[in-house]
Amino acid sequence: MMEMESDTRNLQDEYKGLSNAQVYQELARKRTALEVAIENVEHDFNVGTIVRSANNFNAAKVHIIGRRKYNRRGAMCTDKYLEVVYWPEVEDFIKDQRTRGRELVAIENHTERAQGLAQKKFKRETTLVFGSEGAGLTEGLINEADDVREIESLGSTRSVNVGVAAGIAMYEWARQCVLGKG
């Protein structure tokens, strides 16, 4: 057991001094229903950022589809506190999601299917799906998504960084499905 005062990990005070396994167990007792999927994100730091945000919202799982490697430094060890599942093939990921009755919401601005995030009414059992910044999500994943949303831009930039987009979308899900609950 680590002393709370000497614990330099980026943890809420209630988790200071606990082992990584104990932190995982404590978080597991109050996980949210949110899941996050990342398909072939090209920049490792973005994957780490998304994993870190998923931990912040206590997501049940993070799915990494395609390329397995990512920059764990960007996740700041938060991958130790949640379940990370790897899917080499998108079809296997889709089958898992359908079997478990999850709504797949792609966050993507490279398709005519995309509607504004502000109008989305989230379901509790949602998996948010993010793709690479350049190419975005594959056509196959977009076609399989139950809904496609984009983050509305108020300035001249077409979009925000995928790590930022993930944080915005996760917060909107949490605002509606967790924080908005009285």
Taking the CB of residue 77, how many other CB atoms lie within 10 A of it? 16
Residue 38 has pLDDT above 60, yes or no: yes
Q: Are 15 and 58 in contact (CB under 8 A)?
A: no
DSSP E strand boundaries for 52-161: 61-65, 83-87, 103-107, 115-116, 126-131, 147-150
For 55, phi then psi, to 5°, come to -65, -40
Q: Is residue 3 part of a domain?
A: no
Cα distances from 64 to residues 1, 39, 136, in angstroms, run: 32, 6, 14
Alpha-carbon distance 97 to 133, whole Å?
Answer: 23
Q: Is residue 13 part of a domain?
A: no
Q: Is residue 76 part of a domain?
A: yes
pLDDT (0 to 100) of residue 133: 73
Residue 13 has pLDDT above 80, yes or no: yes
Q: Is residue 32 part of a domain?
A: yes
Return the CATH number at 149.
3.40.1280.10
Query: What mean pLDDT value characterizes the chain?
Result: 87
Residues 167-178 have a mean pLDDT of: 97
pLDDT (0 to 100) of residue 73: 52
Residues 48-61 have a mean pLDDT of: 92
- The CA radius of gyration of the chain, in Å to the nearest whole number, is 16
Domain count, the chain: 1
Q: Is residue 53 part of a domain?
A: yes
For the ranges 2-6, 30-34, 68-72, 75-79, the one whose mean pLDDT is highest: 30-34
Structure tokens given for 170: 């996760």
For 127, phi then psi, to 5°, come to -120, 120
pLDDT digits (tens, 9 = 90+) for 107-158: 998 788 999 999 999 999 999 999 987 778 999 999 999 999 999 989 888 7
Residue 69 has pLDDT above 80, yes or no: no
Q: Is residue 12 part of a domain?
A: no
Q: Is residue 68 part of a domain?
A: yes
Q: What is the residue range of 25's domain?
A: 18-179
pLDDT (0 to 100) of residue 63: 95
Q: Is residue 138 part of a domain?
A: yes
